[in-house]
Amino acid sequence: MKPRNSDQKIVPIDWVDDEERWILVPPGSAETRRRRRDKQLVYKKNRCLFASGVPRSIIDFTYRAVRKLGLSDRVLIFSRGTVRAGGVLKIREVSIRELDWGVGTLFTIPRQLRYGEHADLAVEGGTCSIRLMELAVLEGLLKIALPRRSPSYYRDAAARVIAFGWSRLQSL
């Protein structure tokens, strides 16, 4: 039986559902001696799942970015952890991995990166104060939404979107 319009629940945009769900996270490529480990996911917004270490403010930002980029059909999992590339510790980049068995795409936000960290960046001739965690997450989402672009495009596009709004993404 389909619910009538009066029976449906209106959900505000900043609503976060509490849920208990676990996934198996594989070890990184440089960590060959480590085993898979369990990761608890406690927040859910549509098909975006978040671990307990992800700040609430970045949850709202991420959900809105996923909707704007049209990634709502994919399961995206956001967690905090250690990010390495080629054995080198990365602090300002997210790690993106496809999980086994079609579970979804895992975004690992560096644990050393704090939500309150800002950087003054020169964007289109002016300086803007931008949160580094938002910049890293949006850059990772752009890599999924707009594949086969140059690596410098993603960071520039993410900075323009954060500084001036989503209308700048269509002009790039």
Q: What is the pLDDT of residues 33-81, one digit of tens each?
A: 566 667 777 888 888 999 888 998 999 999 999 999 999 999 999 999 8
Domain assignment present for residue 10? The answer is no
Domain assignment present for residue 152? The answer is yes
Phi, psi of 19 (to 5 degrees): -150, 150
Domain assignment present for residue 1? The answer is no
pLDDT at position 38 is 72
Q: pLDDT at residue 5 above 80?
A: no
Q: Is residue 18 within a helix (H) or strand (E), and if so which, with residue range?
A: strand 17-25
Domain assignment present for residue 151? The answer is yes
What is the domain range of residue 50?
17-170
Cα–Cα distance between 154 and 64 in angstroms, integer? 18
Domain assignment present for residue 8? The answer is no
- Read off the amino acid at residue 54: V
CB 136, CB 119: distance < 8 Å: no
In the chain, the number of structural domains is 1
pLDDT at position 21 is 74
Q: Is the pTM of this model over 0.85?
A: no
pLDDT at position 114 is 93
Contacts of residue 157, defined as CB under 8 A and 6 or more positions apart, other chains included, come to 139, 142, 146, 168, 169, 172
- pLDDT tens string 117-171: 999 988 888 888 999 999 999 999 999 999 999 989 999 999 999 999 888 777 6
